Amino acid sequence: MALIECRSLTRTYAKGDTKITPLADLDLDVESGEFLALMGPSGSGKSTLLNLIAGIDRQTSGRLVIDGHDLFELSRSRLAAWRSEYVGYIFQLYNLVPTLTAYENVELPLLLHRMNRRTRHERVSLAMELVGIADRRDHFPRQLSGGQEQRVAIARAIVTDPRIVVADEPTGDLDAASAQAIMALLARLNEELGKTMVIVTHDAFVASVAHKTLHLEKGRLIESSAVVAGGAS
């Protein structure tokens, strides 16, 4: 059984008298340890699908089952608890708290879990070491480069040891060299730690790092292509 199973997944919004359907009757399986890229024009449903998988949004109809959990059946409190255990989210614009240090930003998700300070310290230190940002632990976001801020954001996403890491345009605000470094890091987290990765991107280079690329248009899956892990097809 796939880690992520989508069946006839549909999300519809009402905008005035108009009904908007960014995702329509989508069927998709994502295996544990897979690295999946979602591509398509703006408004194609990529971010909608990402937010459904992350438990940030709920579908209008269809089924979304992750590791045996039907997300639609979970209450808000149970969904929040599930999300904190299963999913790490990497944002394009980092979403770091400017008044907190890099260390404190990475620590934030752990404050929702019952653990003592020593355990939190060990988890934060390990995550920052893994992404190569330990030497910037006491720096504030304004003192970091864009690539360093994204590394802090990645450390924050993995500090809870989630099964799934989702990323919305993780290199969209970075220069080419920083983007390559970030994608090499995400590939390493996938290969060495076995994290299931689902990323939204417009960048063909970013997509080439994934195992498989799915193309969406007007809320529907129109094409998929598999690649050799870590390289372009």
Summarised one tens digit per residue, pLDDT across range 169-216 is 999 999 999 999 999 999 999 999 999 999 999 999 999 999 999 999
Give percent above pLDDT 70 in the chain: 95
Is the pLDDT reported for residue 232 higher than 80?
A: no
Residue 66: CB atoms within 10 Å: 23
Summarised one tens digit per residue, pLDDT across range 209-223 is 999 999 999 889 886
Contacts of 149 (CB under 8 A, 6+ apart): 94, 96, 141
Summarised one tens digit per residue, pLDDT across range 23-43 is 999 999 999 999 999 999 988
| For range 45-54, the mean pLDDT | 95
Is the pLDDT reported for residue 228 higher than 70?
A: no
Dihedral of the alpha carbons of 196, 81, 154, 219, in degrees to the nearest 10: 60
pTM for this structure? 0.90
Beta strand residue intervals within the chain, DSSP E: 4-15, 18-30, 35-39, 61-66, 69-70, 87-90, 164-168, 196-200, 212-217, 220-226
Contact 8, 28 (CB under 8 A): no
Output the pLDDT for position 224: 65
Contact 200, 91 (CB under 8 A): no
CATH superfamily of 4-96+161-226: P-loop containing nucleotide triphosphate hydrolases (3.40.50.300)
Output the pLDDT for position 6: 97
Output the pLDDT for position 180: 95
Output the pLDDT for position 197: 97
| For range 140-152, the mean pLDDT | 97
- Cα separation, 188 vs 95, whole angstroms: 23
Output the pLDDT for position 43: 86
CA neighbor of 152 nearest in space, from 193, 102, 190, 199? 102
| For range 137-151, the mean pLDDT | 97
Summarised one tens digit per residue, pLDDT across range 80-139 is 999 999 999 999 899 999 999 999 999 999 998 889 999 999 999 999 999 999 999 999
| For range 145-171, the mean pLDDT | 96
The better pLDDT of the pair 152, 16 is held by 152
Strand partners, 87: 164
DSSP category for residue 203: -
Output the pLDDT for position 181: 95
Output the pLDDT for position 226: 62
